Amino acid sequence: MAINLINNELALICPDPVIGINRDGIITLFNPAAEQLLGYPREEMVGRFQIAELYSSPESAREIKRLMYQTDHGPKGQLIGHKTHLQSRSGELIPIQLSATLIEKHGKEIGSIGFFRDLTERLALERSLKLLSVTDSLTGLYNQRHFHTVLNQEIARSKRYSHPLSLVCIDLDNFKSVNDTLGHVEGDLALRYVGEAINGILRNSDYGFRYGGDEFMVLLPETPQQSTHALTLRLIDYFARHMPSNLVELAQVGNPVALSIGIAEYKDDEPAGVFIKRTDLAMYQAKKQPGSLAVLAE
């Protein structure tokens, strides 16, 4: 009787998916919002479908049942704000937040009812905000703050597994002439172009960063120094073949815009700051060849 009353009330007024089950785990309530979220019609679910079949795995279903009888997430017999996944009729795993309570009649458990909140949009927004926080808005590369985070992570991984790790420092030569001759708007376009060139040659495992001003870093996990040369040559080729017309015109009047590139491979137990400095020094050695697309390994 209690479950029937809850069924009628919630089916009419609750905007979130609500699913009720009896003591055997058979679904007794499946409101319109649950139909919309999971793609199952109510008639197919009520009295026929086991709730465990909606979860991503049997282990996930057992975990929820176990937590209902503990006090880690609320009073005994209740589960508040548990994050898990439901599987839709099409097989899609949908991230949800579940709050549930046991239902008793005359002191005896007769079932439970759960309120499900779809987290898809929220998680997408969180991912978007996180990406914005680590991305340079001008070039689309990662920013300097994220560079230091990723560098420390990759150094730790390199040391743990004794795998190679290389770092590439890239500087845009004669960038001042772009700003002075063409203006800062064109200067920003030039920096965007470098970002585009770097993104154009990165492998899935690589990271590209705008380190500051007209200086960029590329981090190459699982890559020894000698293998890095091939990537930098692709970058040089891309930069030359796709160079915007305004930069080509600058070169024609004696202000060639070029790349200076320094490469270093991580050494055992080397502090991150020393690794960066060695790569930076290699780049400045390359700058001694003005107007060229030089690569110098340190």
Kindly report, residue by residue over 85-116, the tens digit of the pLDDT.
Answer: 999 999 999 999 999 999 888 889 999 999 99
Its pTM stands at 0.69
Report the side by side order of strands in the sheet with 215-221: 207-212, 215-221, 165-173, 258-265, 294-297
Query: Is CATH 3.30.450.20 what the domain over 2-123 is classified as, yes or no?
Result: yes
**What's the confidence (pLDDT) of residue 291?**
44
Set 136, 171, 214, 280: catalytic member? 214
Cβ density class 58-89: b for 16+ within 10 Å, e for less: eeebeebeebbeeeeebeebebeebebbbbee
pLDDT exceeds cutoff 60 at 294: no
Numbered ranges of CATH 3.30.450.20 in the chain: 2-123
pLDDT tens digits for range 26-42 = 999 999 999 999 999 99
Residue 293 banded pLDDT, cuts 50, 70, 90: very low
**What's the confidence (pLDDT) of residue 159?**
94
Numbered ranges of CATH 3.30.70.270 in the chain: 134-297
- CA-to-CA separations, 118 to 81, 94, 215, in angstroms, rounded: 12, 7, 42
Instruction: Place domain 134-297 in its CATH homologous superfamily.
Output: Reverse transcriptase/Diguanylate cyclase domain (3.30.70.270)
Tell me, yes or no, if 214 is annotated catalytic.
yes
pLDDT exceeds cutoff 50 at 258: yes
Instruction: Tell me the average pLDDT across 69-80.
Output: 80
